[in-house]
Amino acid sequence: MSYQSINPYNGELVKSFEEHTDQQLETAIAAAQTCFHSWKNLSFRERAVIVTKAADIMRDRVDDFARPVTLEMGKLFAESVGEVMLSADILDYYAKHAERFLEPEFLDPASGEAVIESSPLGVLFGVQPWNFPYYQLARFAGPNLMAGNVVLVKHSGTVPQCAIAFEQLWLEAGAPAGAYTNLLISHDQVLTVIDDSRVRGVALTGGVAAAKGVAERAGRNVKKSTMELGGSDAFIVLEDADLDKTLTWAMWAKMNNMGQCCIAGKRFIIVEELADPFLSKFKAAMESLTPGDPMDKNTTLGPLSTETALIQLLKQVDGAVAHGATLVLGGKRVDRPGAFMEPTILTDIAPDNPAYREEFFGPVALFFRVKDEDAAIALANDSDYGLGGSVFTQDIERGKRIASRIETGMVFINHPTWTASDLPFGGIKNSGYGRELSSHGIQEFVNKKLVRVAPIDAPA
């Protein structure tokens, strides 16, 4: 059974769900295609009524939506509540701004008239991950539904209750059947969807291996795709940073969502002058985290999403140490039921250590000391990933200069990389391509059609 709710706090199976049959999948695709023909003809205002209603429902029943996030993937309940509210904000944002983002662009040709119109592509297919069960869906569905597309979504097999709840949300908000469809499908059926001529675009958030398969299949079918993949974000601390405030952000950057975040701080690159005091205080803060029930407000260390995720992370840490890394803190599972891992810090990670190139998806921090800002930038850029990064310094202009030299899709100064409705999100290199959120995200799956009016007697 590939769709199962298993509570990572105690390992208990909550509920299992059957995969769609091929006939159920065909019915879903056909319904989406039928819906598109009417949905695309609604005005922005008419679509916004439904999208705004969905946001209102999420806010009105925030705890009801947050609870299955915690029960299915172990997120601290307060963070689950925050995710629900962020998801509602994203829906509201596009309900309010989509029409302006997609308004006609009038050009100024040498003669006659020209305008670029934005029109929806049709049925879109999204493959989404477990780590932010609603946020990932909201940032795919919000802009594309407002643009006039309809969406099919294959969510992670570990969060089926969240996936079903989000589909029901749209029906309750008044969306017609087929506007938003959750698919409980197999890997082979994923390829079937991508191959289907009625599907006109593909978006994936996940790992590089999955992206290669999905992007290759989309390319074979000449379909637009976006890929939002992992990261190994650099958290750079310069010698003039405010150490105490920076440490507060370092903990947040590393431990938000138990480190299971593509834009989590993963490589802590500290200039020599602050390296020892930073490491000492960072270690003490990590040691102070308290494991427990993620539904309990006093818990500060929740479980990882699954037992499989925990085993993979432990294997990575053991491999790093076997290749010469120093284990400063943690490195083992917590001696209690559930998929808990000790907060972990690794140092002395040489370039030939596999850990130097890997993404650690959990409460594991890689610590590097460097002599100066040039060395920090070089190390930050020496990565197969390029999603986010951050620079901490009291000299803002210096921070901007350094940010311009870092090879990523996003760089924050004096704040960890994070997300908001009005900020574009995406990366380069093995972190993928395309952008989500802001005015950029809604442009990915629309046809930029040129309409040209030329004088009939104009020369060829």
Q: Which of 237, 235, 239, 271 is nearest to 252 (CA)?
A: 235
Which residue is listed with tokens 């400063």? 328
Residue 276, amino acid: D
Q: Please tell me the distance from the alpha carbon of residue 80 to that of residue 140, in angstroms, as a whole number.
A: 19
Rounded Cα–Cα distance for residues 340 and 1 (Å): 24
CA 93 to chain centre: 18
**Residue 126, beta-bridge partner list:** 153, 203
Structure tokens at 15: 């509920």
Q: Of 262, 342, 358, 359, which residue is the catalytic one?
A: 262
What is the number of residues in the chain?
A: 460
Give me 392's structure tokens: 């901490």
Contacts of 335 (CB under 8 A, 6+ apart): none
3-state DSSP: the chain helix, strand, coil percent, rounded to 5? 45, 20, 35
- Candidates 228, 358, 436, 444; catalytic one: 228
Is beta strand 428-429 parallel, antiparallel or unpaired with respect to 12-17?
A: unpaired
8 A C-beta contact, residue 261 and residue 255: no
Neighbours of 342 (CB within 10 A): 20
Residues 163, 165, 166, 168, Cα dihedral to 10°: 120
Is residue 330 within 8 Å of residue 343, measured between CB atoms?
Answer: yes
Rounded-to-integer distance, Cα 304 and Cα 36, Å: 39
Is 162 a known active-site residue?
no
Contact 241, 392 (CB under 8 A): yes
- Residues with a known catalytic role: 228, 262
